[in-house]
Amino acid sequence: MGSPVGAPARLRLYVPHPESRLCSQLAHGSAIVGLPLANGKIRIYFEGNVIGASNLELYREKAAHAAGRMLHNYPAGYPTRARENVDPREVVEVGTIDSRTGRVEISAGANEMSWWISPADLTDLGFRLEAR
C-alpha cells in the first residue's frame, strides 16, 4: 500500500452503527476506514464494490482500497463520493488497517460484525464460526 510522508501508520476500521443513516445508505458489507478529525467528526472513506469488481470481493480488499483513497495525497485524500465526515455515533470501531502493509487487525468479536460483514469474510479475517 505504501503510505505518503506524514500519513498515519494505522487507519481505523468501522462498521456503521445499526441505527445510523449510514447503515441504510452504504452497500451492505462495505469496508469503512477513517480517522477522527480535530472538530470531533470522523472522516471516513468506504468501499462497497457495488460494481462487482473481481479484485474487491473480500472485505480486506475493500478495506485496502478505501485506505488507499484516504492515503492518496494525504491529508487531502482522493477526490471521491465515497468519503464523508460523520458524527462518531454513526460508526463503531472494529479494528485497524496498517497504512504501509494493508494488514487488517480486528479488535471486535464476530458477533459485533456478523450483521454487516459476511460469514466468508469473517472466516477470511480469521474467525472460526460455529454452525447453528
pLDDT in tens, 17-75: 999 999 999 999 999 999 999 999 999 999 999 999 999 999 999 999 999 999 999 99
| Residue 6: per-residue pLDDT | 83
With contact defined as beta carbons under 8 Å apart, do 33 and 14 qualify?
yes
Q: Report the chain's terminal Cα–Cα distance, integer Å.
A: 38
Give the Cα separation of 77 and 79 in Å (integer).
6
| Residue 129: per-residue pLDDT | 75
Instruction: Report, as an integer, the average pLDDT of 111-115.
Output: 94
Give the Cα separation of 68 and 4 in Å (integer).
10
Cell of 32: 469503512
pLDDT surpassing 60 at residue 4: no
pTM: 0.92
Query: What confidence category does residue 5 fall into, taking pLDDT thresholds of 50, 70 and 90?
Result: low
Residues of the chain with pLDDT > 70: what percent? Answer: 94
pLDDT surpassing 90 at residue 80: yes
